[in-house]
C-alpha cells in the first residue's frame, strides 16, 4: 500500500480522484427506494414501543423520511470494501519504485474479519498480485471460503482481537515482504470507500431530474439529499462518506445546509465505541470481544478516520442500535425490499426506524417536508446456514 | 373481470396495449446480470454430476449463456402477478355498465395460493374496490398476512385442490355479487403478465445500446435477446411472455430467428403437467397435491394459456427440474446475487444450469457466441421462518 505520507489530501476532490481511478473495476451499485419502509419510518412509534427504553414516557418523534438505499451488497465481492481495496492497489501500482522493488511478486497482506479480506483478494487477483489474508478463527465460513476458493488468496488464522490480528499480519509481512493494506486506517482506503456516497449523490440527482425540472419551472423547493447514514466500525466508510459529502474546494460558503453525515453502531458489549468516543471527546482505541450479530462492526474506530469524524467535525452524530432493532431492520429489508443484506448493513436503517434521538432531530430539522435520507447498505455477505438464529428476536 | 368474449385478441399488440394501461400502477422492475452465474452456466457439468440422472453417460453439454434476470420479485406486491391484476381491474373499470350495475360496491373475488391473491387485493385497494380472497388453508402465512393485513382483503380458506378453491370462490360470488378474477385462465390476466417480457426486451436494448452502436459501426453481430424462460404453473406468465415475444403484426416474415420462449416446472409429484401435456399433445386438466417447495407452481395449465402454449406453438419447450436443483439455484441467487426470490422464481434458472436437454439445445443453436437468455424471476414472497429447511438439500 502506498506510503501514507504520500497520500492525497483528505478532501472531497481526492474522493473524486479515487472514483476516476477505480471506476473500471467496480460496479455503480443501484440506489433503491421503498414506499413501505418510508411509510413505516414516517409513522411515530407508540408509547408502548418506547416502554423500557431510555425514551420511555417521551412523546414519540414524528419525522417524515424518504429513504435512498445505496446497495453496496450488490458491489463486487458483496460489499463496499471493494472500493477501498481497488483504490489501494491502483495507488500502489503507481508508487515510484514499487514494481522495481519486486512489489508485484511480493504482493499484499491484510487482516480482516471478512469483507475487506474478500475485497483485497479480489483486487489483488485482478492485478495478478499474490494476497495473504489473516482472518480471525471465528470469521464467517462463507467469507473464509470466498477468500480462499473464489479469490485464491493465502489464508492464515489468528485470535479475534485487533491486537492478535495485527501481530499475525506483521509476521506475514516479515516472512514474505508483502505490503500491508490495512482494512480502514489508511487514507487510500477511506478515499476509496467514500466513492459510494459520491455515486449516491449523482444517482439521487439523476433519479430526481424530473422533480428538479418541475421545481425550477414552478419556483418550488428543488429535491436535495439532506443526509447520509452509514455503519461505523473502523471508520473507513463513515469518514470517506463524510469527505464525499463535504463541500468542494471554493464552495465552502455555498448557501443552504450541507449534506449531513451520520454513523450507526451496535450497542451490544460496548461495540458503540465511536458514539462513546465522540461523547467523551477522545477516541476509544480498543474494545473487548463483542457478540453483536453485526459481525462487520466489531472493531474500534481507527486513527485516520477519527481525524475526519471527530477532529474535523465532518460527522454530525453517531447513534447506537440494539440487537433486536438490527434483526427487525434486517427482516424488513429481506421481506419487503427482497434484498439480501448482512446484519452490519442495516444499522443505519435501524437508527432511522428506532432511535428516537435521530428521529426527533429529523422531525425538528426536516419539518413537514421531511428528509431525503441516504442509507448505505454496506454488504450482503451472510451465510444461509444458521439464518433462523439471525431472525429469532429472543436470542441476542 | 371483463367478460372474456369482449377480450382483446391474444397478440403482441394487445400486450403492448395492456402495458400502456397498467404503467401508472406497476414498477418497471430492474434487469440484473451476474458474471458468476454466467460463468457457472457456461461451464459443462461433470460426468459425476450426471450420474444417476437420465443423462448419465452422455457427453455434458457446453453451452455459452449470458443471463438477463428480469426481477419481478421487486414488483409491487412482490410478484409479476400485479401486472395481470391491475390489467384485469383497469379493464373491468372500463366495461360498459359495470359501474352502473353496482360493480364498485360488489368488488372482486378470486382464489389463489398466494401471489395472485396479494396482487388482486393490492389492485383492488388502489381503486377502492372490496376484494374477497379464497386461499388454501396450507398457503404461506406471510402471503395470508399480506392479503389480510396489508391489503385489507376479506380472506376465506378452502381445501388445497383447484376444484375446492373454485367451489369456494363460486360461493363467494353467489353471496356477494363480486366479479370473479381468476388467477391465470383469462385473456386480461395473461396479457397483463406478458408485459414483464415486453419490458425485458426494451431494457435489454437499452442496456446494450453501446454494444449495438459498436456492432453497427464495425459490421459485427448486433446484440439480441435469443430466448426467455419463465416458470410454468397455470400458464398466465408463460403464455403472456410468448405473446410479448411473438412478432408484431406485419413483421411475421422478418428475417432472423424469433425470440424463443421456454417454460420450466418442478417434476415432483407430477407438477410438470405442462411438459407432460405437450409430450402427449393434450392438456392435463388436473394434478394431485404436490409437495414441491415451488409453492407457486402447484396448479395445472389453464385452458386459455394452453391455446397459446400448445395450439399456437408459441412456446418452444418446457423443462422439468428437481427439488434439489431448485434449492441449488435458490441458494445461488440469494448468496451470489444478494436477491430474495421465492423457490418458484428460480425454476427457469435451474433448467439453464442443470437440464442437459436445454443446455444441449443452447450449445447446438448458440454455438460459440452462445445465447443471451432472459430469465423471469417471478416473485420474492418467502417466509423467513423455516428458511433453513428451504436450503437443506437432503430434504425434498
Q: What is the pLDDT of residues A34-87, one digit of tens each?
A: 999 999 999 999 999 999 999 999 999 999 999 999 999 999 999 999 999 999
Taking the C-alpha atoms of residue A111 and residue A180, their distance in angstroms, rounded to an integer, is: 9
Q: What is the pLDDT of residue A2?
A: 57
What was the pLDDT predicted at A395?
Answer: 46
Among A348, A343, A235, A355, CA closest to A284: A235
C-alpha cell at B291: 409437495
Three cell numbers at B189? 390476466
Mean pLDDT by 10 residues, chain B (396 residues): 75 98 96 95 96 94 98 95 97 95 96 85 96 88 82 90 88 95 95 98 95 93 95 97 93 84 97 97 92 91 97 98 96 95 97 98 97 98 79 62
The 10s digit of each residue's pLDDT in B309-337 is 999 999 999 999 999 999 999 999 999 99
Taking the CA of residue A257 and the nearest CA in chain B, the distance in Å comes to 33
The grid coordinates listed for B156 are 376465506
Distance CA A202, CA B143 (A): 37
Cβ distance of B73 and A338 shorter than 8 Å = yes
Q: Quick: pLDDT tens for A259-286.
A: 999 999 999 999 999 999 999 999 999 9
Tell me if A339 and B341 make a contact (CB, 8 A cut-off).
no
Q: How many CB atoms lie within 10 A of CB B353?
A: 22
Which of A339, A388, A391 has its CB closest to that of B340?
Answer: A339
Q: Which of A335, A340, A384 is opposite residue B391, by nearest beta carbon?
A: A384
CATH architecture entry for A80-186: 3-Layer(aba) Sandwich (3.40)
Say which of B73, B338, B384 has its CB closest to residue A73. B338
For residue A223, the SS3 value is coil
How many Cβ contacts (< 8 angstroms) between chains A and B?
50
Report the 10 Å Cβ neighbour count for A250: 7
Is B81 labeled as catalytic in the residue annotation?
A: yes
For chain A, the structural domain boundaries read 30-74+194-391, 80-186
A151-193 pLDDT per residue, tens: 899 999 999 877 898 899 999 999 999 999 999 999 999 999 9
Strands A227-231 and A179-180: unpaired
List CB contacts (< 8 A) between A331 and chain B.
Answer: 384
Distance from CA of A142 to the nearest CA of B (A): 9
Which pLDDT value is given to residue A389? 76
Residue of A nearest to B340 (CA): A338
The CATH architecture to which B80-185 belongs is 3-Layer(aba) Sandwich (3.40)
Q: Report the C-alpha gap between B322 and B336 in whole angstroms.
A: 21
User: Pick the residue with more confidence: A384 or B35?
Assistant: B35
Cβ of B338 within 8 Å of Cβ of A338? The answer is no
Is B387–A385 a contact, with Cβ atoms under 8 angstroms apart? Answer: no
Return the closest-CA partner of residue A227 out of A74, A388, A379, A64: A64
- Closest-CA distance of chain A to residue B335, Å: 7
**Cell 443484506, located at residue:** A341
**Average pLDDT, integer, range A8-24:** 97
CATH code reported for the domain at A30-74+194-391: 3.40.50.1100
CA distance B391 to B326: 9
By three-state DSSP, how is residue B107 classified?
A: coil
Band (pLDDT 50/70/90 cuts) for residue A253 is confident
Torsion of CA A249, A250, A256, A262, to 10 degrees: 20
Share of residues in chain B with pLDDT > 70 (%): 97
Q: How far lies B388's CA from each of A384, B327, B350, B394, B396, in Å? A: 7, 11, 19, 12, 13
> Is B338–A30 a contact, with Cβ atoms under 8 angstroms apart?
no
Check CB contact under 8 Å for A335 and B334: no
Q: Which of B70, B81, B143, B327 is catalytic?
A: B81
Mutate to test the interface with A, among B330, B340, B344 (most CBs of A within 10 A): B340
Least confident window among A161-165, A234-238, A312-316, B203-207: A161-165
| CATH number of this structure's domain B12-78+189-391 | 3.40.50.1100
> pLDDT tens for residues B71-116?
999 999 999 999 999 999 999 999 999 999 999 999 999 988 678 9
Of A46, A67, A65, A73, the C-alpha closest to A57 is A46
Set B14, B70, B112, B113: catalytic member: B113
Contact: B78, A30; criterion CB under 8 Å: no
Q: Which of A31, A39, A327, A338 to mutate to test the interface with B (most CBs of B within 10 A)?
A: A338
User: How far apart (Å, rounded) are the C-alpha atoms in residues B349 and B343?
Assistant: 11
Q: Is the pLDDT of residue A396 over 50?
A: no
pLDDT value of position B391:
80
Taking the CA of residue B365 and the nearest CA in chain A, the distance in Å comes to 31
Instruction: Determine the Cα–Cα distance for residues A122 and A131; give it in Å rounded to an integer.
Output: 9
- Indicate if B327 belongs to the active site: no
Report the sign of the C-alpha dihedral through residues A229, B340, B192, B120, in that order: negative
Query: Are domains A30-74+194-391 and A80-186 of this chain identical in fold?
Result: yes
Nearest chain B residue (CA) to A332: B384
* DSSP-derived secondary structure letter, B187: H
Q: What is the largest CA-CA distance in chain A?
A: 67
* Residue given cell 493465502 in the structure block: A154
- Chain B CB contacts of A73 under 8 Å are 338
Gap from A376 CA to chain B (nearest CA, Å):
15
* B346 closest CA partner among B159, B158, B71: B71
Joined together, the cell numbers standing for residue B162 give: 383447484
User: Which has more pLDDT, A242 or B2?
Assistant: A242
Span A133-160, mean pLDDT? 86
pLDDT at A4: 62
Q: What is the pLDDT of residue B395?
A: 46
Amino acid at each position: 500500500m502506498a506510503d501514507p505520507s504520500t497520500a492525497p489530501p483528505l478532501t472531497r476532490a481526492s474522493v473524486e480522484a479515487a472514483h476516476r481511478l477505480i471506476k473500471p473495476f467496480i460496479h455503480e451499485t443501484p440506489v433503491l427506494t421503498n414506499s413501505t419502509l418510508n411509510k413505516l419510518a414516517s409513522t411515530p412509534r407508540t408509547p408502548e414501543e418506547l416502554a423500557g427504553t431510555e425514551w420511555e414516557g417521551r412523546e414519540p418523534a414524528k419525522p417524515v423520511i424518504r429513504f435512498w438505499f445505496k446497495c453496496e451488497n450488490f458491489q463486487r465481492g458483496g460489499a463496499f470494501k471493494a472500493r477501498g481495496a481497488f483504490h489501494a492497489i491502483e495507488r500502489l501500482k503507481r508508487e515510484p519504485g514499487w514494481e522495481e522493488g519486486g512489489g508485484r511478486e511480493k504482493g499484499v497482506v491484510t487482516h480482516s474479519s471478512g469483507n475487506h479480506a474478500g475485497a483485497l483478494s479480489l483486487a489483488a487477483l485482478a492485478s495478478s498480485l499474490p494476497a495473504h489474508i489473516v482472518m480471525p478463527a471465528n470469521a464467517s465460513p462463507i467469507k473464509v471460503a470466498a477468500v480462499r476458493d473464489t479469490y485464491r488468496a493465502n489464508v492464515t488464522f489468528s485470535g479475534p482481537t485487533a491486537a492478535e490480528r495485527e501481530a499475525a499480519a506483521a509476521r506475514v509481512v516479515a516472512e514474505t515482504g508483502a505490503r500491508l493494506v490495512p482494512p480502514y486506517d489508511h487514507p487510500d482506503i477511506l478515499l476509496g470507500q467514500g466513492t459510494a456516497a459520491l455515486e449516491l449523490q449523482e444517482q439521487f440527482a439523476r433519479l430526481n431530474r424530473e422533480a428538479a425540472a418541475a421545481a425550477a419551472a414552478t419556483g418550488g423547493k428543488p429535491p436535495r439529499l439532506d443526509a447520509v447514514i452509514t455503519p461505523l466500525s473502523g471508520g473507513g466508510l463513515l469518514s470517506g462518506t463524510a469527505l464525499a459529502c463535504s463541500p468542494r474546494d471554493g464552495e465552502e460558503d455555498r448557501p443552504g445546509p450541507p449534506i449531513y453525515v451520520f454513523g450507526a453502531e451496535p450497542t451490544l458489549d460496548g461495540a458503540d465505541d465511536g458514539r462513546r468516543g465522540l461523547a467523551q471527546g477522545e477516541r476509544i482505541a480498543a474494545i473487548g470481544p463483542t457478540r453483536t450479530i453485526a459481525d462487520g462492526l466489531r472493531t474500534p474506530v481507527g486513527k485516520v478516520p477519527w481525524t475526519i469524524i471527530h477532529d474535523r467535525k465532518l460527522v454530525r452524530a453517531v447513534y447506537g442500535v440494539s440487537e433486536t432493532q438490527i434483526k427487525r431492520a434486517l427482516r424488513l429489508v429481506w421481506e419487503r425490499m427482497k434484498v439480501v443484506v448482512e446484519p452490519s448493513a442495516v444499522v443505519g436503517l435501524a437508527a432511522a426506524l428506532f432511535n428516537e434521538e435521530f428521529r426527533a432531530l429529523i422531525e425538528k430539522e426536516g419539518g413537514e417536508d421531511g428528509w431525503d435520507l441516504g442509507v448505505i447498505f454496506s454488504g450482503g455477505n451472510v451465510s444461509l446456514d444458521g439464518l433462523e438464529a439471525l431472525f429469532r428476536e429472543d436470542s441476542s
